[in-house]
Amino acid sequence: MAAKTLTIDGKQITAEEGETILQAATEAGIKIPTLCHLEGVYDIGACRLCLVEVTGTPKLLPACTLKVAEGMEVSTDTERLRKYRRMTLELLFAERNHVCAVCVANGHCELQTLAYSQGLDHVRYEYTFPKWSVDNTHRLFGMDHNRCILCTRCVRSCWHIEGAGTKNVSGRGGKSRIITDLNQPWGDSESCTECGKCVMSCPTGALFKKGSTVGESVRDRDKLEFIVNAREKKQWNA
Amino acid sequence: MERLKIATVWLGGCAGCHMSFLDLDEFLVDIADKIQVVYSPIADVKEYPEGVDVCLIEGAVCNEDNLELIHKIRARTKVLVSFGDCAVTANVPAMRNQFGLGNAESVLQRAYIDNAQYNPVIPKADGIVPKLLERVLPVHETVKVELYLPGCPPPADRIKALLGQVLAGQTPKLEGTQLKFG
């Protein structure tokens, strides 16, 4: 494969053709904030946290889906990007009911962690306080739509790691929601294999193991990476 | 040097932030000659005074009393600090907002009638029991706030960091995990 030479934050790097800016940056030790990205499943550029600036392009582009190109000049940490990242996070908090103090994911939540690492000390937008339900019909797991940020990690791991295709998205815009099968209660799902990969993928407290209380939802992402590595690279050692 | 006039106030919250404030332990002794607590739920002062330098506000704005007091505080204070998640995000008290308009009536109905074992009645006393607002609000949605001190409650070292910076005459800036909600 052809190598491409480019600069990220002024650093000269080489990357393989077909790699994304996020992959190239990670290999070069440059950290770009991400939220919908999950190792092991394909990227969709949904959350806009990994937006970067590319010289010569007025638009901001998501690093997770942007492919490297020869001579590309990329900035990952400018004033403009920090402003938009913070704005995106604030909008996520305002859109649903994220009550960290009483959330299963408190202390293990990627939204919470990103918020403080991006310097978010309050939300400038009016909170919408929408009314969302909790699906507790499944034997082992629950889904709290109040905490969902629609990253669709659960949908992607359900379809592409487990191959069950139980999780889907219905609706448009802020009214979109994660559904099970044909919008049925999770407990009635015939396709769900009860593997729990959706729960392992979830960055917030939206998907949880039943019986977990505040701060108890620790994700086991290693299991997902192990399965993907085993399948794609034939590496069976954890 | 004149001592810094500090007030702390307790709106719609659980008093956990004030507990955390007391958790400052000997730091309170260290700063005792640098500050003067002019108003606080732990000091017997009836009226919020004029000319306060810094006010730590615990709790969300939930009822008409909270709203009246917060405007009085704004008019009489230089620096307002949203102290804890209820002040910063409206947090748990605002969970009733999810029930939409009329949520105030439905939570009162639930608490005082449906779940009452004895004497089910919604407390009403004009001028004594303040009316609930239609929507619980974070402090900055009602008045301008200068500083934010998140956490449920903010741990004592976080309060100490902020107060330390204020007393050193700096513009306080908290970073990283010092800003963690929850």
pLDDT higher than threshold 70 for residue B162: yes
A112 contacts B148? CB cut-off 8 A: no
Confirm whether B105 is domain-assigned. no
Size of interface A-B (CB pairs under 8 A): 68
pLDDT higher than threshold 80 for residue A238: no
What pLDDT does A226 receive?
Answer: 85
pLDDT higher than threshold 80 for residue A60: yes
Sign of the dihedral defined by the CA atoms of residues B104, B109, B115, B118, in that order: positive
pLDDT digits (tens, 9 = 90+) for A183-227: 999 999 999 999 999 999 999 999 999 999 999 898 888 888 888
Task: Assign residue B33 the CATH number of its domain.
Answer: 3.40.50.700
Confirm whether B125 is domain-assigned. no
* Residue A208 or A228, more confident: A208
Confirm whether A220 is domain-assigned. yes
Confirm whether B126 is domain-assigned. no
Choose, out of A86, A92, A100, the residue to mutate when testing the contact with B (most B CBs < 10 Å). A100
B179 contacts A120? CB cut-off 8 A: yes
Report DSSP state, residue B27.
Answer: H
Confirm whether A204 is domain-assigned. yes
pLDDT higher than threshold 60 for residue A54: yes
pLDDT higher than threshold 80 for residue B78: yes
Report DSSP state, residue A74.
Answer: E
Distance between A43 CA and the closest CA of chain B, angstroms: 27
- Helix, strand or coil, per DSSP, at residue A53: strand
What pLDDT does A229 receive?
Answer: 87
A101 contacts B182? CB cut-off 8 A: yes
What pLDDT does A82 receive?
Answer: 97
| Residue A131 contacts B where some CB pair is shorter than 8 Å | yes
Distance between A232 CA and the closest CA of chain B, angstroms: 36
Confirm whether A147 is domain-assigned. yes
Choose, out of A92, A120, A127, A133, the residue to mutate when testing the contact with B (most B CBs < 10 Å). A127
Confirm whether A199 is domain-assigned. yes
A117 contacts B135? CB cut-off 8 A: no
ipTM comes to 0.93
B95 contacts A97? CB cut-off 8 A: yes
pTM above 0.90, yes or no: yes
Confirm whether A70 is domain-assigned. no
Report DSSP state, residue A125.
Answer: S
Q: Which helix (H) or strand (E) holds A81?
A: helix A79-95
Among the partner-chain residues B99, B141, B177, the one whose CB lies closest to the CB of A126 is B141
A97 contacts B100? CB cut-off 8 A: no
Chain B CB contacts of A93 below 8 Å? 89
Please list the residues that pair with B77 across neighbouring strands.
Answer: B52
B85 contacts A129? CB cut-off 8 A: no
Using the structure block, give the residue that is written with the tokens 């001592």. B3
CB A231 within 8 A of CB A45: no
User: Could you count the other beta carbons within 10 Å of the beta carbon of residue A207?
Assistant: 29
Listed in sequence order, the residues at least 6 apart from B55 whose beta carbon sits closer than 8 Å to its beta carbon are B6, B7, B8, B9, B39, B73, B77, B79, B80, B81
Using CB atoms within 10 Å of the CB of residue A139, give its burial: 0 to 12 exposed, 13 to 18 middle, 19+ buried. exposed
Among the partner-chain residues B95, B140, B175, the one whose CB lies closest to the CB of A122 is B140
Which residue on chain B is closest to A133 by alpha carbon?
A: B98
A99 contacts B91? CB cut-off 8 A: yes
Task: Assign residue A206 the CATH number of its domain.
Answer: 3.30.70.20
pLDDT higher than threshold 90 for residue A101: yes
pLDDT digits (tens, 9 = 90+) for A12-29: 999 999 999 999 999 999
B150 contacts A127? CB cut-off 8 A: no
Q: How many structural domains does chain B have?
A: 1
Distance between B45 CA and the closest CA of chain A, angstroms: 30
Confirm whether B93 is domain-assigned. yes
Which structural domain range is residue A207 located in?
A: 84-233
Chain A CB contacts of B145 below 8 Å? 122
Distance between A132 CA and the closest CA of chain B, angstroms: 8
Selected residues 131-150 of chain B with any CB under 8 Å from a CB in chain A: 135, 138, 140-141, 145, 148, 150
Which structural domain range is residue B160 located in?
A: 4-100+132-179
Q: What percent of chain B has pLDDT over 70?
A: 99
Confirm whether B112 is domain-assigned. no
Confirm whether A56 is domain-assigned. no
Selected residues 67-126 of chain A with any CB under 8 Å from a CB in chain B: 93, 97, 99-103, 106-107, 112, 115-117, 119-123, 126
Q: How many structural domains does chain A have?
A: 1
pLDDT higher than threshold 80 for residue A39: yes
| Residue A42 contacts B where some CB pair is shorter than 8 Å | no
pLDDT digits (tens, 9 = 90+) for B97-145: 999 989 999 999 999 999 999 999 999 999 899 999 999 999 999 999 9
Mean pLDDT score across all residues of chain B: 96
Confirm whether A90 is domain-assigned. yes
Confirm whether A24 is domain-assigned. no
Q: What percent of chain B has pLDDT over 90?
A: 96
What is d(CA B134, CA B147) in angstroms, rounded to the nearest whole number? 26
pLDDT higher than threshold 80 for residue A237: no
Query: What is the arithmetic mean of pLDDT over A71-82?
Result: 98
What is d(CA B134, CA B123) in angstroms, rounded to the nearest whole number? 17
